[in-house]
Structure 1
Amino acid sequence: MKRLLAVFLCLASSGFAALTKEQKIFDFTVLAQTFAANYGPYHWKVRALKYDAMDLKPWLAKVEATRNDIEFLEVLIDYVASLKDGHASLSFFGTFRATLGFTTDIYDGKVLIDSINRTTQPLSRFPAVVGDELVSFGGQPVGAVIDQLEKYQTVGNPRATRRLAANILTIRPQSLIPSAASVGDTVEVEVRRAESGELEKYTLPWTKTGIAFTDLGTVPVARDASKRGPRALEIQDDSLPAYMQPIAPLLTARLPRDPEGVLNYGAVAPIYGFPTGFRLRLAGGTDFFASGTYVVEGKTIGWIRIPSFQPPSAAAAIQIFEREMAFFQENTDGLVIDAMRNPGGSVAFVEALLQRVIPFPFRTLGFEIRATNSWAQSFASVLSSARQFGAEPWIVQHLENNYNDVLQANREGGTTGSLSLNSTGSLILLPSPLAYRKPLIALADDISASAGDFFPAVIQDNGRGKIVGYQTMGLGGNVVAYDGTVYSEVGARVTQSLMTRREPVVTAEFPTAAYVENIGVRPDIELDYMTRENLMNRGVPFVEAFTKIILQEISGN
């Protein structure tokens, strides 16, 4: 309430000044120190991207050159975006939002309209239709505008970055884009009509809601930054043993915010239509999953969608998933698991689902943690609690080994080895007795993120089934929220670890490494949903293609 009142007074009174140069420098330094103390992938970014986030001289020069608070916030965004890490992000307190009433994404390399709100943009004003191409925006080629927007949506995967930037062409929240309020009352867009090939220009009004901020106000007395630390845990997981609570913040592996304008992102319903003859079992509503079966060439195929790894109740969702696997084991010949457009969630929950689709002991992903004194204390608390709660001796031994690794890394000011973050303390997990044992494939795409990277990585590493789709987003760590600055009150989310795979991955773009960060999970079979044919036909070609693949897996070909 105090913050909202301050924003209101700032807007209502022309007497408030912007932050001073000294306050900007202080805030930037605080943000940089937060990353210096906690950012797990630091050495990987130096090695893979040739970017050193601790070289502050050029950034301080940019901060000093800013003429107002908005420019200062844009420098902060540039600094974090240079990490090319979708977990590392900033958030602002603005409620202002400008939208145009239609969404865009990149299909076959072109920016196409993929949904239109006809209440906001009636046919009489905007006769373009889904599937038409957006060619220019505000008098600039659309590609040039996407270039400018990429820094607000930078993630580990270049194609995903570009797609997410295309999504915010028509949606401008100030909580993401500090300069969002600078949009005019209207914008001119140029569209190539798919049916005729003709270029048409329209002048469309922005729909604006919320209150915009233009400066942050002057805070005359230095605020107390001595008690800054991680914010409250963002993801709750009621399936965790009580002794795991001290390290529960390390179990968040999720995009900081759901992308704007991505169709069916994190939704129970898939982006594509169901096959002919599909019989629903779980169908949304109060169901966390969607599931069902269909018959092709005499084979019964099971299908289940995992919209995210952040259910309202992990314990309840695990029971439902296990029940579905038991049904599929008795009634299907093969299984399709859809983890596309998945923002991630809880590491513990994704491992629990993996234990129900991998019917043998398997190696999960480890985490190289940026060790700090607070995390050493947290691991010590886990170990102490496990002993108090009577955990089995082998579990206590694993947890003790993990604690010693964190303690040693903290003393040396570095990162740990590859540690398990599950309640057993082990990188080897045992299957559920009801695990699905028949052939399966898992669908993933370039906006399967974080725990959405984790799930297909483990399936692929352990040879459980083929990954079908597109290279995942490449967000390979856990994320923790901090108060990123003092005067400007910017929230920061910091990646504190690196997910580590079973074996190093060789790519043309990056050094060979066993990391998920930036590298992502490369599919065994590439199948790209992002085509105009799929957009216009509710994904029929995509469904036919993955159905053919699971039939081949069933037949053993």
Structure 2
Amino acid sequence: MRRFYIWLSLFITIIFPLNESLSASQSRTNEPPSLLQQQMLRDLDFVHNNFDAYYAPSEWKKRHFAWDLDTQINKAKASVLANKEVSLKDYHQILRGFFNSTRDYHVSVHSVTTEKATLPFMIKGVKGRYFFVYLDRDKLPKEIFPFEIGDELLEFDGRPVHDVIQEIKHAELGNDGTKIGDANDFTDQALAEIYLTSRRDNTNKIPKGPITLLCRAQKDDEGKPNSKAKEAQLVWDYFPEWVIDSRQARYAFDPRTLQRKQGINNLFNKQMLPGRWPHLMSLQNHLPSCSHNLGSKKSFLPRLGKIVWEAPESCPFDAYLFLDGMERLIGYVRIPHYVAGAPHVNEFAELMKEFELKTKALVIDQVNNPGGSVFYLYSLASIFAEHPFSTPKHRMKIGQDEVMFSRSCLERFSYISNNQEAKWAFGGSNIDGYPINYQFIQLLKSYCQFIIDEWNEGKMFTDPYHLYGVDKIHVSPKAKYTKDILLLTNELDFSGGDFFPAIMQDNKRAKIMGARTAGAGGYVLQTSHPNNLGVDSFSVTGSIAERVDNNPIENLGVSPDWSYEITEKDVQGEYEGYKNEILSVLTMMLEGDL
């Protein structure tokens, strides 16, 4: 496919003037900052300028959390100057503290590092108690680790598990306890539970060697309720650091070499994924078959009834037909993520054709969905559209680069007069399954003209506008599903995982059950720059989206129509309570009570 690219223009000063924090530090110590500290300060100037130019939610964060860019950057600089022996790992933690201060799951910083450590299990917390939800029996055979899924983890290396989780929330996610009760706190909790047994560049100190766990089985050897705890010792699966911290700065920034990741950015690759997604993907690699992983093909939800038909393993979707307690045929499909394209859309359409003919209702399982491509998301949503769906609007940060590109697109597209020419211009018939045609070109032209008009009016932060001009999701020509839909969500649904339920709810097409989504409400931009500080790349949120009621998705997420909180019995009993509640809500929907 022919690609169109944007260069992001980022500006930093070559000669860094001493800021207030630096001057204050020198007046206290009478010592100039070291060469390494100077480079860190310049790097923070680069981060500041990037956020100032491209971070769209700044105003929202200031209103919602009293967050201020200058204040947080100066705080980071003060931390650099406070430690004359500051190391690169120290600096990475300082940077991470700044990024965490935004309370934004799209922003993240990634270090150049190989060091990591993992343990072959995963836990789930319920009201301060923690239970095993996955055990890798290839590494934890029963004769070595005699505990089962649903058994309780009490202590982690001699400390209460809950204390360790709260420490991770604070140190690695910036959660200082002030988020209690909001959407971010539940998401931070779930992420901290993942990080407990998967440590990489998000962690200041990577553990290694033996670790002692204190666990309690649900039942004793005779099958009776158990109250006794037992210790078990495991060893961290540790991978050492190959990139040595020389603690020496060898060159400073040259603004002529500043660039976006890989130098260029595809206009149609404004992804809706959390900034931590590459990191989370690498962490989950050691538990490839875990149904609690983000984006896993099969979720932790058990089969909902008697299976009548099931999709083959070759199908990219976990899907089946089942009979509920009233012998009604219900469909189930799992949407694990939105990182896919036309082949997956076609497979999904074929499934929905069959489900339309045979089912009374559909359960869409979207829990633990990290997001992905907006075009793929729109393509799936179109199959459920009985009339054109309204899409969220975005307020976007723009610069000269996007204005120049918009002008170039208008010139290029001015010669397109039919569907065939539109496809030729893009080198294909679709973008991630979304059809390319003459009408899409007209929408895209309106989007480009909007960017130019906003800039000409002196706006670097636009008024709300539909992304790429796509204001409506039209009824799919491939398939149409018209029956009732129950959409399952939770606190680990990010970005695209926020947008899909928002669209379905705003257009009154589905009832949502579960927990509030994470609230990552915009598209993400990635940036890299040459440096000797071990900073690989970082991401910022380039837009802030508004729903049809004009409220942002950022931090607020999507609230369910029917809330459900995972219980201790769920994690100890294969989620039977969750399953029964889903069936109960389905019955209410089908009988017109919801």
**Smaller-chain TM-score bracket:** 0.7 to 0.9
Per-residue CA shift, 1:268-294, capped at 9, x if unaligned? 11212213421344244x422121211
* Contact persistence 2:356–2:481 (CA under 8 A): yes
* Contact persistence 1:254–1:449 (CA under 8 A): yes
> What is the alpha-carbon distance in structure 1 between the residues aligned to residue 493 and residue 245 of structure 2?
36
Stretch of structure 1 that moved more, 449-458 or 211-220: 211-220
Q: Which amino acid aligns with 1:534?
A: D
2:172 to 134, 138, 152: 152
1:481 to 526, 542, 561: 526
Residue in structure 1 matched with residue 572 of structure 2 by the alignment: 536
* Contact persistence 1:70–1:214 (CA under 8 A): no
Stretch of structure 1 that moved more, 358-367 or 538-547: 538-547
2:202 aligned with 1:185 = no
SS of the equivalent of 1:502 reads coil
**After superposition, where does 1:151-230 map in structure 2 within 5 Å?**
151-153=171-173, 157-174=184-201, 176-180=202-206, 183-195=207-219, 196-211=226-241, 213=243, 215=245, 217-230=247-260
Q: Which amino acid aligns with 1:350?
A: L
* Contact persistence 2:257–2:530 (CA under 8 A): no
2:60 aligned with 1:44 = yes
2:323 to 295, 298, 305: 295
Q: CA deviation at 1:184?
A: 4.3
* Contact persistence 1:484–1:492 (CA under 8 A): no
Residue in structure 1 matched with residue 304 of structure 2 by the alignment: 275
SS of the equivalent of 1:533 reads helix
> What is the alpha-carbon distance in structure 2 between the residues aligned to residue 194 and residue 53 of structure 1?
49
Per-residue CA shift, 1:235-276, capped at 9, x if unaligned? xxxxxxxxxx95213244455333645724211112122134
2:436 aligned with 1:436 = no
Change (3 A) 1:289 1:379: farther
Residue in structure 1 matched with residue 367 of structure 2 by the alignment: 340
* Contact persistence 2:99–2:107 (CA under 8 A): yes
Change (3 A) 1:279 1:415: farther
> What is the alpha-carbon distance in structure 1 between the residues aligned to residue 591 and residue 408 of structure 2?
50
Q: CA deviation at 1:395?
A: 5.2
* Contact persistence 1:87–1:494 (CA under 8 A): yes
> What is the alpha-carbon distance in structure 2 between the residues aligned to residue 19 and residue 531 of structure 1?
53
Residue in structure 1 matched with residue 82 of structure 2 by the alignment: 65
> What is the alpha-carbon distance in structure 2 between the residues aligned to residue 396 and residue 266 of structure 1?
32
> What is the alpha-carbon distance in structure 1 between the residues aligned to residue 588 and residue 274 of structure 2?
33
> What is the alpha-carbon distance in structure 1 between the residues aligned to residue 455 and residue 243 of structure 2?
41
Q: Which amino acid aligns with 2:115?
A: F
* Contact persistence 1:364–1:429 (CA under 8 A): yes
TM-score (norm 1): 0.85
> What is the alpha-carbon distance in structure 1 between the residues aligned to residue 150 and residue 473 of structure 2?
46
Residue in structure 2 matched with residue 511 of structure 1 by the alignment: none
**After superposition, where does 1:54-453 map in structure 2 within 5 Å?**
54-55=70-71, 56-66=73-83, 67-123=86-142, 125-150=144-169, 151-153=171-173, 157-174=184-201, 176-180=202-206, 183-195=207-219, 196-211=226-241, 213=243, 215=245, 217-232=247-262, 247-254=267-274, 256-257=277-278, 258=280, 260=283, 263-284=292-313, 286-296=314-324, 297-311=326-340, 314-390=341-417, 398-410=443-455, 412-422=458-468, 425-433=469-477, 434-453=479-498
> What is the alpha-carbon distance in structure 2 between the residues aligned to residue 356 and residue 416 of structure 1?
31
Q: Which amino acid aligns with 1:448?
A: D
* Contact persistence 2:297–2:318 (CA under 8 A): yes
User: Where in structure 1 are there 5+ consecutive unaligned residues?
Assistant: 1-17, 235-244, 505-513
Change (3 A) 1:377 1:252: farther
Change (3 A) 1:118 1:321: closer
Stretch of structure 1 that moved more, 118-127 or 544-553: 118-127
Q: CA deviation at 1:388?
A: 3.0
Change (3 A) 1:395 1:99: closer
Residue in structure 1 matched with residue 562 of structure 2 by the alignment: 525
Per-residue CA shift, 1:312-349, capped at 9, x if unaligned? xx111111212222211111111111111111110011
Change (3 A) 1:267 1:39: same
* Contact persistence 2:36–2:249 (CA under 8 A): no
> What is the alpha-carbon distance in structure 2 between the residues aligned to residue 83 and residue 413 of structure 1?
23
Q: Which amino acid aligns with 1:179?
A: K
* Contact persistence 2:316–2:344 (CA under 8 A): yes
* Contact persistence 2:416–2:438 (CA under 8 A): no
Percent identity between the two aligned chains? 24
> What is the alpha-carbon distance in structure 1 between the residues aligned to residue 407 and residue 448 of structure 2?
6
Residue in structure 2 matched with residue 11 of structure 1 by the alignment: none
> What is the alpha-carbon distance in structure 2 between the residues aligned to residue 81 and residue 33 of structure 1?
17
SS of the equivalent of 2:133 reads strand
SS of the equivalent of 2:267 reads helix
Say how many residue pairs are matched.
512
Change (3 A) 1:100 1:556: same
Change (3 A) 1:154 1:465: farther
Per-residue CA shift, 1:50-77, capped at 9, x if unaligned? 1112322222101122422211111001
> What is the alpha-carbon distance in structure 1 between the residues aligned to residue 445 and residue 138 of structure 2?
60
User: Where in structure 2 are there 5+ consecutive unaligned residues?
Assistant: 1-33, 176-182, 220-225, 285-289, 419-436
SS of the equivalent of 2:336 reads coil
> What is the alpha-carbon distance in structure 2 between the residues aligned to residue 115 and residue 397 of structure 1?
50
> What is the alpha-carbon distance in structure 2 between the residues aligned to residue 533 and residue 381 of structure 1?
59
> What is the alpha-carbon distance in structure 1 between the residues aligned to residue 92 and residue 242 of structure 2?
14
Per-residue CA shift, 1:19-50, capped at 9, x if unaligned? 71111112222222222221111111111111
> What is the alpha-carbon distance in structure 2 between the residues aligned to residue 515 and residue 142 of structure 1?
35
Change (3 A) 1:280 1:309: farther
> What is the alpha-carbon distance in structure 2 between the residues aligned to residue 485 and residue 410 of structure 1?
30
Q: Which amino acid aligns with 1:536?
A: Q
SS of the equivalent of 1:293 reads strand
Residue in structure 2 matched with residue 547 of structure 1 by the alignment: 583
2:500 aligned with 1:455 = yes
Per-residue CA shift, 1:189-243, capped at 9, x if unaligned? 3334444233434443222124355625424232434232322499xxxxxxxxx
Per-residue CA shift, 1:434-488, capped at 9, x if unaligned? 3211111111111011101100000100111201111001111111211166222
2:556 aligned with 1:516 = no
Per-residue CA shift, 1:348-386, capped at 9, x if unaligned? 110111111121112012221111222223333343333
* Contact persistence 2:488–2:514 (CA under 8 A): yes
> What is the alpha-carbon distance in structure 2 between the residues aligned to residue 106 and residue 294 of structure 1?
30
* Contact persistence 1:36–1:54 (CA under 8 A): no
Q: Which amino acid aligns with 1:143?
A: H
Q: Which amino acid aligns with 1:375?
A: E
Q: Which amino acid aligns with 1:415?
A: F
* Contact persistence 2:97–2:174 (CA under 8 A): no
> What is the alpha-carbon distance in structure 2 between the residues aligned to residue 309 and residue 475 of structure 1?
14
> What is the alpha-carbon distance in structure 2 between the residues aligned to residue 302 and residue 233 of structure 1?
45
Q: CA deviation at 1:503?
A: 0.5
Change (3 A) 1:207 1:19: farther
Change (3 A) 1:266 1:251: closer
Q: CA deviation at 1:295?
A: 1.7
2:38 aligned with 1:22 = yes
Change (3 A) 1:344 1:99: same
